[in-house]
Structures are given as structure tokens and as C-alpha cells.
């Protein structure tokens, strides 16, 4: 018997050569996958179509006969119409069950072997190397803390020498700027404090600084606690969480205070914006309407006359696009929506925050909502927004959960966040 081998990049290529050379009746003896480290190929060994099959060595020397419901013999019996006796059928079922148990046993043995081999090849941890790695991480962390301390000391020294601050004033100035308060605002706050009493109790000195800041922070009452019918619009740049904030305010007003709340969205620009607010409305069993322009908004507000509170969601606008902000302000005018809240993210850097406040001033906002406080590291930007605009703080949002992650704005909480890590 003459065996010929054909090579191809894939099995399909090799079989194509076999068909071209020997036709469809060639006897395929073996298929192999080869690899020399640079490339891979497939080899197919065949015998001519006139080969005596009795001389071909079988793949298994003693193949197990298939006497069950499967295989060529079972197929032949079906074709011949040979009926199976009850005893034969029971024997077939027993063989199938036995073979299934045998396969399960082999799989378990294979899993044990894989686990054993994996354990053998698990790299051993060198305790010395592990100790060195731990020491290295601790050393790097210590260096970073030392750098921060030196940077703080240099900043305090510079503040004392160039700004004529006392040591405690310089320390406070450094803390405020470290937590995100603008340099000019931090200097203004520190100069307004008493430099006297340096030798007093440090706790008294700390309390004096906190009380001075507390006197500057103004907050507004939560919407649900105000008397009369409230029509409130939420404005702000894209991505600050206006829609989620509206859902939280609506849930708080309807569940805790029993107010009848209606929702109106004018955000038909953002994909799925309407669906998002509609999903909250369905969960809270609230009325929701969509207004595409000023006229539609006026009509929808009339249909919600029985609502104690109507919350209007606006589309997020780029602070650099003054025309888009002006168009939105005209569509949601103050005569339709008298109470207007500006939403800003707590982690917004001072320059971006200043641009947002400038851009949305024509909208006529009168209160601030600080969002995403849980994502913020330095909370000084919140103080920047409040003191630069004079707008009272109404809400802080602290996460994505509705309605849990919202709280009424508190001067004590803001001062505590801005003065965190303060050590006299």
C-alpha cells in the first residue's frame, strides 16, 4: 500500500489537494497538525482509492463494539426493520448507563490530574522576595507622604513670608488650597480670621476658624418642605446628574412628605433621556410629560395644576455654547418655571467651574445643587461655587441610588469637608 502525504496551510487546503489527486474515494489515513516554531501547517496522509481496506491498520487495535442504539449496526437494524426485544433494549440501556458512569469517572480522574499538575507548576513564593516587595511598597508610600509634608511646609513658609500670615493662618491657607479652594478665595477667607490667640488652646483656634466659615455659608430649605405649589427647573452642563437628581427629589417629596409630584422633561436631544426619566416615573407612580418647546411646556404645566410640585428636566448644555444656553433659557423661561436650580459636580476644577457659572448666569438660576460628592477628593470647588455666586445651597447628592443618595445641604457638612485633615 502506497501512502502519500499532502501539506496545506489549513485542513481545507490539504483536502483540496487530495481530491484533485485521488478523487472523492481516497482513503484518509491520518490528519496531523505540524508546527516548527515559525509557522503551522496540516498534513493529510491518504491511500489510493483502490486500496484494500483490510490491510489498513485501524486507529484502535481493539475497538469496542457498539451494541446500543447508536452506530452502524443500530442504523442497519433500523433499515432492515429488525425489532429489538425487551431484553435487548434493557441491555442497551444498561450499557449506555455504564458508559455514562465510566465517562464521569474518567472526567473526575482527569480533573484530579489537572489539579495535581497545576499544583506542581505553581511558582513558589520566595519569602525574602515577598518581604522586599512589601518593604518597597511601604518605602514608596512613606516617600510620597514625606513629599506631601515637605510641600505643605514649603507652602506654609511661602504664605508666611509673602502674604504676611501667622503660622496658623498659613497652615489654614495651605489646607484650603490643597482641598481645591481657589487661591484668591482662600487668601480672602484666611485674612478675615483673627491672628490673635496663637498661644490659646488649639481646639479653640480650630473652632474659631470653623465658625467663621459657617457664618459665610447659606443654605436653602428642601423643595418638599416649602409652602405652596412649586414649579422647579434643573439646569447644568452635560453629565452632572440632573435627571438622577430629579428622580431623587421626586421620590423624597412623594414618599417622605406625601406631595403629589409631576415630571416634565425637555431633554429630547440626549439618547434615551426621556426613557430614563419615564422609568423613574413608572417606579414612583408619577405623571410624566414631554415638552419640545415653550408652547408645549406651557400646555403641560396647565395639565399638572393639581400637582403640588412639578420638576422640569432640561437638556445638558456645553458652557462654551452661549447660543444653546440662551435658547434653552428662552424655552424654559422664569415666568413658566420660577424656581431654577443649577447642578454642578463637586469635583469640577476651578477654571471649568468659573466657566459654567458664567455661562448659566443668563438662565437666571437662584440656587445650587452639588452632585457627585462621593466621587470628589477635594471639596473646595463647592465652596468656590457658593461664595462666588452667592446662590444658596439646596441639595448634596452622594451616589447613584434613588432615593437614598441625596441630602439637604448643610453648612456644617460643607465646612467639615473643606477643613478635613486640618491639624492645628
C-alpha cell at 97: 448507563
- pLDDT tens digits, one per residue of 105-157: 667 777 777 777 666 655 666 677 777 777 777 777 777 767 665 665 665 56
- Backbone φ and ψ for 96, nearest 5 degrees, come out as -65, -45
Predicted local distance difference test score (pLDDT) of residue 87: 59
Mean pLDDT within 222-240? 89
Predicted local distance difference test score (pLDDT) of residue 47: 76
Checking if the pLDDT of 212 tops 80, the result is no
Q: Which residues, including other chains, have CB under 8 Å from residue 376's CB and lie 6 or more apart?
A: 345, 346, 347
Per-residue confidence band for 310, with pLDDT thresholds at 50, 70 and 90: very high
Mean pLDDT within 305-331? 87
Per-residue confidence band for 257, with pLDDT thresholds at 50, 70 and 90: confident
Q: Out of 186-195, 300-309, 354-363, which region has the weakest mean confidence (pLDDT)?
A: 186-195
Predicted local distance difference test score (pLDDT) of residue 197: 47
Share of the chain above pLDDT 70, in %: 72
Partner residues linked to 311 by β-bridges: 232, 263
- Comparing 97 with 162, which gets the higher pLDDT? 162
Q: Measured on CA atoms in the order 124, 128, 129, 133, is the torsion positive or negative?
A: positive
**Per-residue 3-state assignment (H helix, E strand, C coil) for 195-244:** CCCCCCCHHHHHHHHHHHHHCCCCECCCHHHCCCCEEEEEECCCCCCHHH
* Local structure of 48: helix, strand or coil: coil
Per-residue confidence band for 64, with pLDDT thresholds at 50, 70 and 90: very low
Helices marked H in 227-379: 242-251, 273-284, 294-303, 322-331, 350-359
Query: Are the CB atoms for 251 and 284 separated by under 8 Å?
Result: yes
- pLDDT tens digits, one per residue of 77-113: 444 445 555 555 556 555 555 555 666 666 777 777 7
Checking if the pLDDT of 394 tops 50, the result is yes
Mean pLDDT within 249-262? 89
Checking if the pLDDT of 217 tops 80, the result is yes
Mean pLDDT within 404-417? 85
The whole model's pTM is what? 0.58
Query: Are the CB atoms for 192 and 206 separated by under 8 Å?
Result: no
Partner residues linked to 28 by β-bridges: 46
Angstrom distance (rounded) from CA 95 to CA 93 = 5
Predicted local distance difference test score (pLDDT) of residue 319: 85
Checking if the pLDDT of 180 tops 80, the result is no
- Inter-CA distances, 345 with 140, 181, 372, 399, 406, Å: 32, 15, 6, 12, 14
Amino acid at each position: 500500500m502506497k501512502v502519500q502525504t499532502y501539506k496545506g496551510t489549513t485542513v481545507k487546503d490539504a483536502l483540496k489537494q487530495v481530491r484533485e489527486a485521488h478523487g472523492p474515494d481516497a482513503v484518509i489515513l491520518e490528519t496531523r497538525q505540524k508546527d516548527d516554531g515559525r509557522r503551522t501547517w496540516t498534513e493529510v496522509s491518504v491511500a489510493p482509492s483502490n486500496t484494500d481496506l483490510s490491510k489498513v491498520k485501524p486507529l484502535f487495535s481493539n475497538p469496542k463494539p457498539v451494541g446500543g442504539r447508536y452506530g452502524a449496526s443500530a442504523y442497519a437494524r433500523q433499515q432492515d426493520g429488525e425489532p429489538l426485544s425487551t431484553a435487548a433494549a434493557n441491555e442497551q440501556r444498561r450499557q449506555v448507563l455504564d458508559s455514562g458512569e465510566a465517562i464521569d469517572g474518567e472526567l473526575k480522574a482527569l480533573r484530579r490530574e489537572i489539579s495535581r499538575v497545576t499544583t506542581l507548576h505553581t511558582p513558589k513564593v520566595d519569602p525574602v522576595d515577598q518581604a522586599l516587595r512589601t518593604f518597597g511598597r511601604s518605602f514608596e508610600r512613606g516617600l510620597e507622604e514625606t513629599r506631601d509634608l515637605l510641600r505643605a511646609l514649603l507652602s506654609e513658609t511661602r504664605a508666611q513670608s509673602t502674604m504676611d500670615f501667622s503660622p496658623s493662618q498659613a497652615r489654614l491657607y495651605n489646607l484650603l488650597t490643597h482641598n481645591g479652594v481657589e487661591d484668591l478665595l482662600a487668601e480672602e477667607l484666611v485674612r478675615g480670621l483673627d491672628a490673635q490667640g496663637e498661644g490659646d488652646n488649639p481646639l479653640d483656634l480650630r473652632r474659631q476658624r470653623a465658625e467663621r466659615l459657617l457664618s459665610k455659608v447659606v443654605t436653602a430649605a428642601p423643595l418638599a418642605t416649602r409652602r405652596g405649589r412649586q414649579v422647579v427647573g434643573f439646569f447644568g452642563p452635560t453629565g452632572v446628574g440632573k435627571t438622577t437628581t430629579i428622580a431623587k427629589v421626586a421620590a423624597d417629596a412623594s414618599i417622605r412628605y406625601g406631595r403629589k409630584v409631576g415630571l416634565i422633561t425637555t431633554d429630547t436631544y440626549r439618547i434615551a433621556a426621556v426613557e430614563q426619566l419615564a422609568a423613574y416615573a413608572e417606579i414612583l407612580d408619577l405623571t410624566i410629560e414631554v415638552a419640545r418647546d415653550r408652547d408645549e411646556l406651557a400646555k403641560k404645566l396647565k395639565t399638572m395644576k393639581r400637582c403640588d410640585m412639578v420638576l422640569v428636566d432640561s437638556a445638558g448644555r456645553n458652557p462654551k455654547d452661549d447660543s444653546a444656553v440662551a435658547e434653552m433659557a428662552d424655552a424654559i423661561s422664569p415666568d413658566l418655571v420660577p424656581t431654577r436650580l443649577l447642578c454642578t459636580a463637586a469635583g469640577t476644577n476651578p477654571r471649568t467651574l468659573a466657566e459654567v457659572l458664567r455661562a448659566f448666569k443668563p438662565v437666571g438660576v437662584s440656587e445650587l445643587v452639588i452632585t457627585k460628592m462621593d466621587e470628589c477628593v477635594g471639596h473646595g470647588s463647592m465652596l468656590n461655587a457658593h461664595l462666588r455666586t452667592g446662590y444658596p445651597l439646596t441639595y448634596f447628592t452622594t451616589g447613584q441610588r434613588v432615593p437614598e443618595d441625596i441630602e439637604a445641604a448643610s453648612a456644617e457638612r460643607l465646612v467639615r469637608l473643606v477643613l478635613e485633615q486640618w491639624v492645628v
